[in-house]
Copies of this chain bind each other. A is one copy, B any other.
């Protein structure tokens, strides 16, 4: 286990991620932090986001298109992804513990996280068509 040292950048990245509910990409976070700290680099943002994920302080979401997104909300919850506009939102839906237990009992291994994505067309995009 390697020892962590404080870093201003990591602190910013963490705060930025925790302060938003919109599942930003690494680039979103980079651009946002750049406003106050024009010297931060995208590589640092990626490095620290991955570190946070490794430490279990954030999650990475992948949908099969576009860049990955990050989520600082660790409470178990589900996501809705709009195929039209790419928006990602949380579903106010209690995740089923039962599901985790069932999965646990039939996968034979150890489960340490669970992500569920619903894909479709969001309210706004439905209206547009």
Which positions in A face B, CB cutoff 8 Å? 60-64, 68, 78, 80, 82-83, 89, 91-93, 96, 99-100, 102-103, 106-123, 125-126
**How many copies of this kind of chain does the complex include?**
2
Per the bound structure, the CA–CA distance linking A122 and B103 in Å amounts to 12
Q: Which residues of B contact A116 (CB under 8 A)?
A: 99, 114-117
B119 close to A113 (CB less than 8 A): yes
A83 to B91, CA, bound (A): 26
* Residues of B contacting A119 in the complex (Cβ-Cβ under 8 angstroms): 111-115
Known: A60-B64, A109-B123. A118 touches B103 (CB 8 A): yes
Closest 4 CB pairs of A and B: A111-B120, A62-B62, A108-B123, A109-B122
Instruction: Tell me whether A117 and B118 are in contact (CB under 8 A).
Output: no
A9–B92 CA distance with the chains assembled, in angstroms? 44
